[in-house]
Chain A
Amino acid sequence: MNKNWWKILATVLVLYSIIAGFLFHVPAKPILNESIRNIHFHVPMWFAMIVILTVSFIYSIRYLNSANENDDLMAVESANVGIIFGILGLVTGAVWAKYTWGEAWSNDPKQNSAAIALLVYLAYLVLRNALDEEQKRGRISAVYNIFAFPIMVVLLFILPRMTDSLHPGNGGNPGFNTRDMAPELRPVFYPAVLGWILVSVWITTIRYRMRKVENRQNFIH
């Protein structure tokens, strides 16, 4: 119980954000209308992806220092979960954009950047498949992961700000700060972000433990 309180918190927060996100009162805006509720689902995916990919980055650094196989497992599983959340973020964004911006893919710089960031992590998985020996695979893919991470940060946070974008905070659009968000949205949005981040960490730890058990089974036979 002491160790699992955050899992209960994650479940409660996500359930609350789903129920409240669909039922609570939202400000009526032209074009957006009820689709404004998507902010409770689309944006938390990106927060979760950034957090979990940062975890992957940190574990890759740890692997280079420790050469402990578990750190490598954690790095690859958090990259896997990050990719899933990235895909979910793209899909929720594209569905929403279809109805508000008119097209699912409207060549928005942030959309493009997010897709490229996913390509980087898919390349990381391909690189892992190309290497057979475990220690070498861990070390070389950790090097690539660490090398690619700063470039992904530039891609997601700096480049979209240099051009016009439909996303908030870019190209003269209002930024993502407390003043611009309608007060009715905040009580649902912040718990949703926290809840999804916790869920992504939870999934990662489950995947990590599964991989460890698999490894142990392979080791005995």
Chain B
Amino acid sequence: MDLLNQVKFLIRKEITLEWRSKYALNGILLYLISTVFVCYLAFREITSPPTWNALFWIIMLFASVNAITKSFIQESKGRQLYYYTITSAQAIILSKIIYNILLMLLLSAIALGFYTMVFKNLLGDPLFYFFAVLLGSISFASVFTMISGIASKANNAGGLMAILSFPVIIPLLIVLIKLSKNAMDGLDRSVSYDEIGVLIAINIIVITTSLLLFPYLWKD
């Protein structure tokens, strides 16, 4: 099988497995909804746009760390050995990244919908804000997939995941918060081209380094 077919097949396998148990998806959805609700009960109402924006991204950050940490840990040793014999390392990491991007797109759309429903909607340019959120979920997925692969090799994977991923995600988060703040204030879209460019560039760098490095991470 060539790479493309392998990737397609592995993504289908991920989705089937997820759909069969629905454990990760439901767990993360519940996590997301209850976090937003806890924030609502704590804040009641948010009138300042920067706080609204920052809180949304903090919720997204923690939800995505929790959603993606599982992607390598839940695989048993035996199953990984089986993949090792039938596919290439690039196919594995690419399929995980694409699956996590799909998962994060779904989660972030639900999160944004629920968040704007609970808190008063302050968005100046909702469509562009939604675009920023989608770009953010792609970035989260591509960075966290590789980090979760690294963390899964250590004993205390859950704790290590936060330590390893937060410093790496902060630069992306800074750009994302700026981009989404521009969208929130309803600024002209051409103002944000720089930020979009940087985000796309970082994503390309992250995905290529993941493809290059994963073969070394994988063989045990």
Residues of A bordering B, CB below 8 Å:
64, 113, 116-117, 119-120, 123, 126-127, 130-131, 136, 139-140, 142-144, 146-148, 150-151, 154-155, 158-159, 162-163
Contacts and interface: CB of A to CB of B under 8 A. Distances in A.
Contact of B155 (A130, A140, A142, A158): A130
Nearest to B201: A154
Contacts of B206: 147, 150-151
B156 A154 contact: no
Contacts of A126: 160, 163-164
B41 interface: no
B171 interface: yes
User: Secondary structure at chain B's binding surface: helix, strand, loop or mixed?
Assistant: helix
B210 to A, nearest CB: 7
Interface string B190-220: 0000110010011001100110010011001
Nearest to B150: A144
20 contacts: A64-B213, A113-B171, A119-B166, A130-B156, A130-B160, A143-B213, A144-B147, A144-B150, A144-B164, A146-B209, A147-B147, A147-B209, A147-B210, A150-B206, A151-B205, A154-B201, A155-B170, A159-B171, A162-B194, A163-B178
B171 A131 contact: no
Given A127-B164, A147-B210, A159-B171, 12 more contacts: A64-B213, A119-B167, A126-B163, A140-B153, A140-B217, A143-B213, A146-B209, A147-B168, A147-B206, A151-B205, A154-B201, A162-B178
Contacts of B213: 64, 143, 146-147
B146 interface: yes
Contacts of B178: 162-163
Contact of A116 (B147, B150, B167, B220): B167
B175 interface: yes
Contacts of B205: 150-151, 154
Which of A136, A142, A154 has the most CB atoms of chain B within a 10 A radius of its CB?
A154
B154 interface: yes
User: Secondary structure at chain A's binding surface: helix, strand, loop or mixed?
Assistant: helix
Contacts of B201: 154
A147 B150 contact: yes
How many B residues touch the partner, as a band?
A: 20 to 34
A59 B56 CA distance: 39
Contacts of A120: 167-168
Nearest to A109: B174
A144 B150 CA distance: 7
Interface in B145-163: 146-147, 150, 153-156, 160, 163
Nearest to B164: A123
Which of B160, B168, B205 has the most CB atoms of chain A within a 10 A radius of its CB?
B168
Nearest to B208: A150
Nearest to A118: B167
Contact of B171 (A136, A140, A154): A154
Contact of B216 (A117, A119, A142): A142
